[in-house]
Structure 1
């Protein structure tokens, strides 16, 4: 009688986290247990599937998937699968049943350490299913507890998920945040040079950092708040926690960077073959999409409306198609007429100013926010006084102080947004002064130019005109509408003939550090 062949085993050895895989003992312990069990069974290990992956539901399991794929190949690389215990196989009952069915159908035996499980026996399959179900329950409970604990730590101002925000450090012993001075110096230099016109990809390459990540840091991760997000679908947990951190840049610089990034994305984007004076500033007044420049075979240039389908439908037929030279000349002339006439300027500001009711609401909200911030400051002073008098300890007051700091940061952000909106809107009493100041500043800017004294618009260089356009139309209105030239049709014109179009100018010239919205409409 021939001697039976020794069993060829496939060993599944896994842990749930990278930390366990790198520094834990579990992998070594499982390996030792399996080696001893295989030796007792008189077999050999032909394949080892070892590493870090979750056995809980909703997690990708590449090791198990590879093992099951190998089980279906011919010739098969192993006769049996061995794990240290049932939980190392799976804590997801559905996937456990599917995997065991694959092994059973392909004649693969199943072992947990020194015990073999007959996969054709219903009682064994019931036991393995119950083990997986219990393991799934325990894993879900631990997952929920872990998420709740991390959320509570985040509310105390501690970093509990993801990487630390760029350029900040956290001392777990003192519980205090600090700024990495070297990285802050880098961000200061990059921000200054980026606003001066240097390309961000070149700056990123110079400092050896990822371009897209640098853009994200500059536009959204240099402020005084770091957002931690906890989204666990299986437990219906979706919570966002704002943690106060030291800022890397002042809010004014961050706002300027965002405007610059938006400009690079729109009207300062790329190098077109043909220059268009109002490129990026001409919009359809109905759908508010930007119109693009096009040069025909006669070298005539137009600003034209796209004919492709977009998210916002446009009801204009025919679509706007405007001669560049005529629109450019009209806009330049009207800008001089507008800024050269204080009364016209005053009417334009008044027409563009939102209703006073909305402005008064914003001012009242701003006052209430300032009162709440002052209340927080008084409360913080009282707590600090209690600490100095040794009536409470720093540890006892830490949680409440962190909540106060977070609340104050949130209120200040909202107040700053409101003040930004109010700052762009002059009060009714200041409109006349704004109009006169805007006219005076505009004249000072252009009167020194050789073409300004004689009002010789044709004497302006293309760069002079483009600089003037950018001065007036650079940015957005308080409601997010991009500044520029908005094109409207004139009713009563014959189809299939050259059309005349009305246009509206929406811009915001700077006046003594304040911004005001102006509007002007003409044909």
Structure 2
């Protein structure tokens, strides 16, 4: 039997213990050798939580297992917790593997294939999930207490600071404190000084400061300065000596209530008065003018427009008061002029040129007739594919309904609690079911489209209406433009339109 090995650790600290990747691999290889199994492929996951399905090696393994035929007959794991620490997800993935004939085998928690073995695996996975949640609570409690005592829990300190060993020894070496990094701190001070006082009599905004550093070869830990990073430094109270731990949830990334934040008093880089002056100046500047910004309204060319100078995308920005609109390179917006020297392109002018060219060359009765002919000839072939797609989506709908029934039965029987995890899973199934129903409806509509009845008169009328709407309806224009044009590269003197050669 050919098998795959899957090894996982959550953290570097765990890797240093007896559950390290090499130890797991060695024990699994020895076990396979004793059983006479051939190891075909190894999937290694370092630094990934067992409660999260978005693990690269894990997803690659599941994808490989669904190939026809699968490249292995079984997946070998050290313990069931290495596979998943979420009991519901564990059961779902195990059933998925069972359907395609791939076994899941733990070398330390071996169970039979009969109902009693299945029950044992469920108990193991429920216990692993409980242990994971309890460990998470204890870990956070310990880290909170560590922060209350003034120690740093993170791995990467804020820019301007570095970690130093304290005199207190913890479980994993000496506890860390934040201290000023003299080199980086001088840059932080420069940022505040440049923002408040400018340079050589010229005021500087965040973009100007980023350009100032780039032109002088000053990097941000080896990376170019971005406007967002300048803004973060100018708005962070960390530099006045107030550093907060436990501000966000590690899983959802959402902000926690301020009552749960824990303050660490650290050495300040910026005086409180300097920080207040900076806040006041930022507020004043934001009211004086509207800086170039992203515009939320649907615009004609965003998403397909590329800068001919650096190759980056171009987005819509506005000038003072939002009166003038123009397309601007995103590299210039994020990194400054030192990284791209392209010019701003007036939105109305470029939109008119592109639409005019398309109306003249593409949306003519002759071109639309060619498209209609292609549709007629391909409709017969597509009908067979449509029937096949229809069958696949009908099968998926049936499978989703069966999964939902099993979930509800498990809850009704008391085997699984209707907790947040189960609710999320049920919601995912419900959303996917709705998507499948939409796909089925779309396929049925396509299969009923009467391409064979399209006449010359229909084509001419359609062409006229289409050309009219293209120049009067922005949303309509953008939708059709995305269907026909893949990319528009704008240089100083020309715009190159690239699309499907068939149209």
TM-score by length of 2: 0.48
TM-score by length of 1: 0.46
